[in-house]
Amino acid sequence: MPFLIGLGGFIIFVSIEILYQLSDLIVRHRVGIGKLFLLLYYYLPYFVAMGVPVGVLLSIFWTFSKLSEDRELMAIQVHGISQKNLIVPFLFLSVLLSVIVFFLNDQVVPVYQSRAEEAMSKYVLKKPEVFVVENVISKIGEDQYFYVEKYDEKTNTLWNVVIFKYGSEEKIVTAKRVQKREERWYLFDGRYYTVDKDGFLKLDVHFSEMELDITEDIENLLRVGKTPREMTGKELKEKIEFFRKVGIKPSPWIVELQSRYANSLTPIVIVLVGVPLSLLFQLRSKSWGVIFTFVLVVLYQGSGAWLSAMGKENLLDPGFAPWIPNIVFSVMGGLLFVLLDTAVAYRIREFLTRIFLLLIFILGTSLFSSQVNIVSDQMERLTDKMLFLGNVEITYKDATIQASKTVVHLNKEDRVEYLEAIGEVVYRKKDTILESDRLIFYPEGERNLLFHVRGSTIVEIEGEKKKIYLSGEEITVEGSKTTVDFGYITTCSEIPPHYKLKATYMEIRENDYLLAKNVVFYLLEIPIFYQPVFFTSLSDKPQPFSVEIGYGQNPYLKTSYNVSYAQGLVFFSVKSVLGEGNWKEFEWNHKLGNWTVNVNYEESPDSREALVKLFDEKNVILFSQDEGYKRTYRFERKEKVMNGNLNIVLEKSSDGTYIIPRVTLKRASFKLSQGTLSVSSFTHETRVEGEGSETSGTVNLSFRSVPFFLLQTVNVNTTGKYLFENRIFDEEVSFLKVDSVWDFQNLSLGKLITLDDKIYAGIYRSEESGYRVGNFFTTTLKVPLDPFSFESYYKLYVVRGENLRKFSQNESRNEVDLKAIFSYGGFHSSLETTYDFIEEEFSDPYLKTSFSFKTGNLTHTINTTTRFVLDDLKKSYTRWEFQQRAGSLLNKLYFTYFYDKANIEYIEDQMRIYGRDFLFMEDPRITAYSKVKVDPFKLERFWIRGNFKREEIVHSIKLDFDGEDLDLSYGMKNGDPTFDLSISLENWSVRSFSVSVEKALHCLGARVSASFGRDFSLENFSVFFYIRDFPNSGIGFDSEEGLGVNVF
């Protein structure tokens, strides 16, 4: 009976699991209950074979639990009978069951598995009854077989293919890739072997492409193979032998075959493990028998599945992997069986029992315990209380309390009513640490009262976690809520703090808000500002309320409000400037499903502006009113068209202007078999004003062809624009222009000659009309004769038309560029000129040279460019450039030598230090430039710009001298203090001077800046003290705007 319960329970469990995994497909494809039962019926032999070990193990545990409960085991031992004898009947039964399991796995399961796969495809997956199966051998003819490792049905591509044919000769064809083209199959990158009947290789041919000579469609051939589980043992052996003969690793088939042998012995292995375990623990509860059965079966079959998978991937030996669980469990069972009836067995049982009970206790207390634990040096019990003295530590859930003395007050039922901790009390919970004189804890409501408290907690403000210090006469901690009576909060750890917000009542809700009443802001113990209520958000939502006050020539008060709710946010601010009026701003954002409503209103003493917008991802409906009270209504639609962005706008204004419509298309492209059509930009707009209208637009199209014949590609670019008044062509105000270029690129004749041809065509229609047609033909000839090479670039541009100045390409040209090059080692030179066939003359030739060499780590390069002026050789000149490079340093010195003057007018130098560390500078980015006039000698220009790091401090420098005036600035950031200096000299007298210093004062920061005019006359001075954790909050003075406060 227990055997059938275990077997039936296993079958029900795996059946439900399969139906659960297929639930989405069952519902989607409306699979009837009859078809589901048919599917489970086909899987039943496989479930029975897998469930036999469960039934055997449950039978063992239930049988021995019954014997233990009835004291039968004790009676057997009393009569001197060894417990080892009890294994014999189970072994006989397990041998019988092993034969049955082997028969099921080898003969019954393969047949039913094939039917199950067919039923799955037909009724559940709704696919053809046959489908592509990879990693199988398919018979494709008489004594001919086909194998494919991977098949991509979308691209009709097969990977790692083997074709094998028996006969008087064995023929083997392998290919890395097989692909279908024009209803024919072709093999790529493969080999063709022929082996005679004696096993000698007769033919071995490698091919890059070969047509596959198989009459039947491969897609049908791939659908006839069997998976390893659908094969009998005999078929598996044949496949393994065949795979080895053709050089393919048959790992999945070996694993399947060995798994059948190993699984057939599972009942015997279970008996060897289950009987000693039952006799060792002598469990009397059938429930524990079920638990042990579940644990052992999961370990046994789970490890078997993992190890078999590793064998299929050749991570383990395929023939050995399925046997590892049997070997391990058999060894363990045999060892336990040998130890039965010995003293060692009793000691093992006692030790394991204690460990097991300890684990149960730890698990139970950790999951279900919420009790208060108190540890102290001394404890005393009184009538209605308990005293704990000396190093008292109280733990409850995630809270810990330490104190010198604790009194636990009990109620009439002798339960804890509350406890009181006295003397050097420290309360810890998550990120909160509070120190107080006395604490009262109520376990029922999990409420803590602390008196004379100072402590800290961590809250998130504006997306950043900050440590807040708090102090108060009385603090209550209840869940995530903390209240403070007559206390203060600050982010400064100093005592006394440099600044604090002192209030009669504060409430902190974790990750939600901070509320304070009757708040006074203290700076260096000096009261600065009072506010009745202070509220700030501790979540990622905007701050609900802020106040800003300014004093000086234009005193002002600005208040801002943010009200957030589930679907949106409301913002409102008012700025009142004394003597000038009020500035108001209102904004409302609200979500309506996929739509969003945005309302924005701004008002000043001189104007009002309003905007109402309703939009989603594609549509915008808008109403606006500008400063001149002009109202505009607009509808806008956005779409993705041809991989580009299409925008359509309809608009109406209160001045009688209509736009119907404005169409914009950008970055659109469409691929054709001949090439790609692209729309870089297209705009069209029809604007109606009163009785008149205006239609205008621009277009920029291009087409790029695929390579064909000798042409690499053909590019066609068309640009145009148009304007029509009142929808007619009025030559006085309207115009139309279209221009196209046909570019036939890279017509190559070998590697020496390259031809290129462009055809231009354009028209212009207006008051002054015109047209232009042209052809621009170029050819490049290269002749390499190492170390020389010669190049020529011929250009023929023929233009015809009227009013050619309306077009960019408007001149005829017929010329050839000639270039001779010489290269040897580090020396390179070239001579270049152009001959104009129309003017029948050569252009001035250029001689260019370059020579590079090294001295140590320094690389030197000398470049020259000489222009020979043919009309007057004395006017020729040479530009010299001397370049030095070493690591991050690059220096260039250059000048021009004029032969007619026999002198140098200017010498220029540019130095760059970039990237790598240089001297004392880290990661420098510095450029310096100088320009010197030679005769008379004078420094005309010098400047340095850039920055570098030194440890964490960034230094920036800027110096500019133009011969008369000097500007200098230097800054230092990320340090303490931060420093900025700027000075400007005019004729060596001070034109302007400014300095700014910022210094950290622990929790506060101070920023002082001053600017001076000519003769150091003071123009502005400001000082600002701010809270470092909140840089925009503080108090300051400016000589122009006066005193300003921005705290809340």
Contact, 895 vs 906, CB < 8 A? Answer: yes
Nearest in space to 57 (alpha carbons), one of 97, 85, 16 = 97
For 29-43, 218-232, 485-499, which range has the lowest pLDDT when averaged over its residues? 218-232
C-beta neighbour count of 427 within 10 angstroms? 24
Query: In this structure, are 17 and 100 located in the same domain?
Result: yes
Beta bridge partners of 651: 634, 659
| Residue 306, in any domain of the structure | yes
Q: Which whole number is the average pLDDT over 371-377?
A: 79
Query: In this structure, are 334 and 272 located in the same domain?
Result: yes
For 143-187, the pLDDT digits (tens) are: 667 777 777 766 778 888 888 776 667 778 888 888 877 767 788
| Residue 723, in any domain of the structure | no
| Residue 579, in any domain of the structure | yes
Residue 631 belongs to what H/E stretch? strand 631-641
pLDDT at 1019: 80
Contact, 221 vs 198, CB < 8 A? Answer: no
Query: In this structure, are 60 and 30 located in the same domain?
Result: yes
- Number of separate helices (H) and strands (E) present in the chain: 13, 53
Of 629, 662, 685, the residue at which a domain comes to its end is: 629
| Residue 648, in any domain of the structure | no
- Give 304 or 324, the one with higher predicted confidence: 324
Q: Which whole number is the average pLDDT over 199-221?
A: 63
* pLDDT exceeds cutoff 50 at 775: yes
Query: In this structure, are 172 and 72 located in the same domain?
Result: no
Query: In this structure, are 117 and 266 located in the same domain?
Result: yes
* pLDDT exceeds cutoff 50 at 769: yes
Residue 344 three-state SS: helix
For 865-906, the pLDDT digits (tens) are: 999 998 888 889 999 999 999 888 899 999 999 888 768 889
Nearest in space to 265 (alpha carbons), one of 313, 210, 329, 215 = 329
Long-range contacts (CB closer than 8 Å, 24 or more residues apart) made by 798-805: 798/774, 799/760, 799/772, 799/773, 799/774, 800/772, 800/773, 800/774, 801/770, 801/771, 801/772, 801/773, 801/774, 802/769, 802/770, 802/771, 802/772, 803/764, 803/768, 803/769, 803/770, 803/771, 804/770, 804/772
For 67-121, the pLDDT digits (tens) are: 776 776 667 766 667 766 777 777 788 788 888 878 887 778 777 777 777 777 6
Query: In this structure, are 360 and 262 located in the same domain?
Result: yes
Residue 34 three-state SS: helix
- For 511, phi then psi, to 5°, come to 55, 30
Query: In this structure, are 102 and 160 located in the same domain?
Result: no
Alpha helical stretches, state H, 757-802: none
How many residues appear in the chain? 1048
pLDDT at 29: 66
| Residue 465, in any domain of the structure | no
Domains in the chain: how many in total?
A: 3
Torsion, Cα of 385, 386, 391, 397 (10° steps): -80
DSSP state of 230: G
Query: In this structure, are 70 and 178 located in the same domain?
Result: no
Answer whether 0.75 is exceeded by the pTM.
Answer: no
* pLDDT exceeds cutoff 50 at 365: no
Residue 123 belongs to what H/E stretch? none
Q: Tokens 């260019």 identify what position? A: 848
| Residue 855, in any domain of the structure | no
pLDDT at 664: 93
For 322-361, the pLDDT digits (tens) are: 888 888 888 877 777 777 766 666 676 666 655 554 444 3
Torsion, Cα of 229, 235, 240, 243 (10° steps): -100
Query: In this structure, are 260 and 353 located in the same domain?
Result: yes
| Residue 495, in any domain of the structure | no
| Residue 509, in any domain of the structure | no
% of residues, the chain, pLDDT over 70: 81
Mean pLDDT, the chain, as a whole number?
A: 79
- DSSP secondary structure string for all residues of 839-876: TTEEPPPEEEEEEEEEETTEEEEEEEEEE--SS-GGG-
Q: Tokens 């399925």 identify what position? A: 322
Query: In this structure, are 347 and 297 located in the same domain?
Result: yes
pLDDT at 211: 75
pLDDT at 800: 80
Angle at 773 between CA 771 and CA 775, to 5 degrees: 160
Q: How far apart are CA 991 and CA 983, in angstroms?
A: 8
Contact, 212 vs 219, CB < 8 A? Answer: no
Domain that holds residue 574: 541-629
Strand ranges (DSSP E) for 868-977?
Answer: 877-886, 889-898, 903-914, 922-933, 938-950, 953-961, 965-973
Of 331, 366, 401, the residue at which a domain comes to its end is: 366
pLDDT at 363: 42
Q: How far apart are CA 54 and CA 31, in angstroms?
A: 31
Torsion, Cα of 18, 20, 21, 26 (10° steps): 100
Query: In this structure, are 17 and 116 located in the same domain?
Result: yes
Query: In this structure, are 117 and 263 located in the same domain?
Result: yes
Of 334, 350, 366, the residue at which a domain comes to its end is: 366
Residues 6+ away with beta carbon under 8 Å from 825: none
For 907-928, the pLDDT digits (tens) are: 999 999 987 788 888 889 899 9
